[in-house]
Structure 1
Amino acid sequence: MVRVLPEGRLAYGMQLPVQSQSALYAESWEVAAGAEDLVEVARAADRGGFAYVAVCDHVAIPRRLADTMGTTWYDPVATLAHLAAVTERVQLLSHVAVVGLRHPLATAKQYATLDHLSGGRLILGVGAGHVTEEFAALGVDFARRGALLDETIDALRAALGPEEFPEFAGERYAFSGLGQKPRPARERVPVWVGGSSPAAVRRAAVRGDGWLPQGDPRRDLPSRITRLRELRERAGRTGPFAIGALTEPLYVGDAGRDLGRRTLSGKPEALAESLRAYGAMGVHQIQVRFRSRSRGELTDQMAAFAADVAPHLDG
């Protein structure tokens, strides 16, 4: 097992803007934004002690979902590789890669190269996917995506391990005698499993190094964390395991405008007190998101959070 978060502290990371532009969360300024904005936000995260920056994965969006999901979804590997070159410390998370859409050797080649080039900063977040047309277009059976993800995780464990010639034999995939370099910089690439269904929680407990819930309300987290621990104990899993949570949208200070009913805003001390509740539940890392009207406002919010909120997350 590999530990990627500081022990005994509530870490914080964030999903990047611009890279994915779903109407459910994207801010209006992101429509006209581009590579320069992504770089500046990633650099702000690097400066501000953010544990990671994260990107999403979709290949193509069907028309029936385009109004809500949008069609702007930058490729996660290309995006993280670009940002790896302009940052030094912040880790690079796929949240989440729909790895069942691709052969595990192809996925391993991309992410091993990313980990190698970034000096061992990759966290591979994986999920089952939910867009039926996307699976159909790529010739993958949507109905069997859960079983496929299970096998793909196992295959990726082998393909991303230390061996130049990895071996794996499963129901769908098998490979041996095939070498891949460069190898990841880390001996073991951490795999965090996304999803909040019973199957996803079980998959995270049994196969993952961490869990990425998908927007669970605070009231639901304690029972899911208890279930994770039970499943890991039953499976004999030990060692570091990173439990995550997506926070409510945040704004440090007084915005002077309506931020929406779910947004947490106000003085840094009050925000820190509210966010400490996640740590009390057993959460190890929170994924934060800030309300903003421009890149500048976003990076200002990130800096204010890092300077005035983060130091108080652990009491």
Structure 2
Amino acid sequence: MDIGIGLPVLRPDPGLSIVDWARRAEVRGFSTLGCTDRLVYDNYEPLTALAVAAGATSRIRLTTGILLAPLRANHALFAKSAATLDRLSGGRLVLGLAPGAREDDYKAGRLDFQRRGKLFDSLLETATRQWQSHDGIGPRPATPGGPQLLFGGFTKTALRRMVTYGRGWIGGAQGVENFRSLLPGVRQAWRDAGKAGEPRLVATAHFALGPGAEKRLHNSLASYYTSGTYIRESIEAGLATPENVAREVAAYGEAGCDELILFPHGGGLEQVDLLADVVGL
């Protein structure tokens, strides 16, 4: 199983360089740099942050986990932006996509929250067509047919998008048992659609290590999720000790996960090395 690490993009510390973080993550052998997405929150925009990381690295993948795709209302421009990043990074972009469940993000973007599914489908149709035929709009992505797509969510609609457009599925950060319980349905949807091979299975988790890790992780997750079941499940599944990280990484590997991306909460550049040491990189 590959191990990725998220960029420090939530409530970003202006003294913590994404460039230094990305370079250190690549040197330590992480498989990917991940980036999460919100509109109504103090965080860096994912494609922009990944572009900065791309310019500082040469091998590590660049993954949105996840990007709230329907918020990108100009679908041709979104396709162009993604193709540009894929081209400039040498084909390292992986787009984890989902519509999201927070209405405030859509309200701030002056988009109809109830129509986010239709907006998502329209975006996918436009982007995949543009990446394949270009429709007079460049650049041509480095990855033939466009960046690899992973889809979050477990509704029938989410699985339909996965088998129609995607290479696999990306799970939320609610713990390995939640991830394991959803895999049979993902794999069955893949088989029912007559897709070759197996879907790529990616999981996400939250971590903090070092002094004050548990408090940093709890406060950060409580701020990010604000309310609902996600806050309870995510805090319970958060990893704040080396022992918990090691145990959870092993459990995800045993569950059949192809890549686990661990997102940081607080701390400095030392978080890269602390995590790499725990997972054996």
Q: TM-score range by the shorter chain?
A: 0.7 to 0.9
Q: Which runs of 5 or more residues in structure 2 are unaligned?
A: 216-235
Alignment partner, residue 49 of structure 1: 29
Secondary structure of 1:123 counterpart: strand
Contact 2:69 2:98 (8 Å CA) reproduced:
yes
- Alpha-carbon separation, structure 1, partners of 2:271 and 2:213: 16
* Aligned with residue 145 of structure 1, among 116, 120, 131: 116
SS state at 2:62 partner: strand
SS of corresponding position for 1:231: helix
The letter of the residue matching 1:300 is D
CA contact (8 A) 1:205 1:228 kept: no
SS in 2 for 1:288: strand
Task: Tell me the amino acid that sits aligned with residue 91 of structure 1.
Answer: R
Shift of 1:248: 5.2
Shift of 1:180: 1.4
Alignment partner, residue 7 of structure 2:
16
Contact 1:52-1:91 at 8 Å conserved across structures: yes
Aligned letter for 2:200?
Answer: A
TM-score (norm 2): 0.80
SS in 1 for 2:196: coil
**Amino acid across the alignment from 1:58:** R
Q: Aligned runs of 1:1-150 on 2, under 5 Å?
A: 10-17=1-8, 19-21=9-11, 30=12, 32-34=13-15, 37-59=17-39, 61=40, 71-101=41-71, 102-150=73-121
Between the aligned partners of 2:171 and 2:6, the Cα distance in structure 1 is: 13
Alignment partner, residue 159 of structure 1? 130
**Is 2:214 aligned against 1:259?**
yes
Residue aligned with 1:245, SS: strand
In structure 2, what is the equivalent of residue 244 of structure 1? 202
Could you tell me which residue of structure 2 aligns to residue 217 of structure 1? 175
> Does the 8 Å CA contact 2:174/2:205 hold for their aligned counterparts?
no
Q: Counterparts of 2:277 and 2:212 in 1: how far apart (Å)? A: 18
Residue number in structure 2 paired with 1:66: none
Where is the helix percentage greater, Structure 1 or Structure 2? Answer: 2
CA contact (8 A) 2:190 2:198 kept: no
Name the % identity.
28
Structure 1 residue 116 displacement after superposition: 0.9
State the shift of 1:223 in Å.
Answer: 2.5
Report deviation, 1:304: 1.8
Does the 8 Å CA contact 1:44/1:303 hold for their aligned counterparts?
no
Shift of 1:96: 2.0
Q: 1:154/1:282 Cα in 2 relative to 1: closer, same or farther (>3 Å)? A: farther
SS at match of 1:160: helix
Aligned in 2, Cα 1:116/1:240: closer, same or farther, shift over 3 Å?
Answer: farther
Larger Rg: 1
Large movers: runs of 4+ above 6 Å: none
RMSD in angstroms over aligned alpha carbons? 2.6
- For 1:49 and 1:180, how far apart are their aligned partners in 2? 35
Change in Cα spacing, 1:241 to 1:250, as seen in structure 2 (3 Å) is farther
* Counterpart amino acid of residue 112 in structure 2: D
The unaligned stretches of length 5 or more in structure 1 are 1-9, 22-29, 62-70, 166-178
Asked if the contact 1:56/1:96 (under 8 Å) is kept, the reply is yes
- Secondary structure in structure 2 of the residue aligned to 1:158: helix
Q: 283-292 vs 47-56, which deviates more?
A: 283-292
Match of 1:65 in 2: none
Cα 1:193–1:258 shift into 2, 3 Å = closer
- Offset, 1:232: 1.0
The 3-state SS of whatever aligns with 2:280 is: helix
Return the alpha-carbon distance in structure 2 between the equivalents of residues 58 and 272 of structure 1.
29
The 3 A distance-change label for structure 1 pair 248 and 299 is: closer
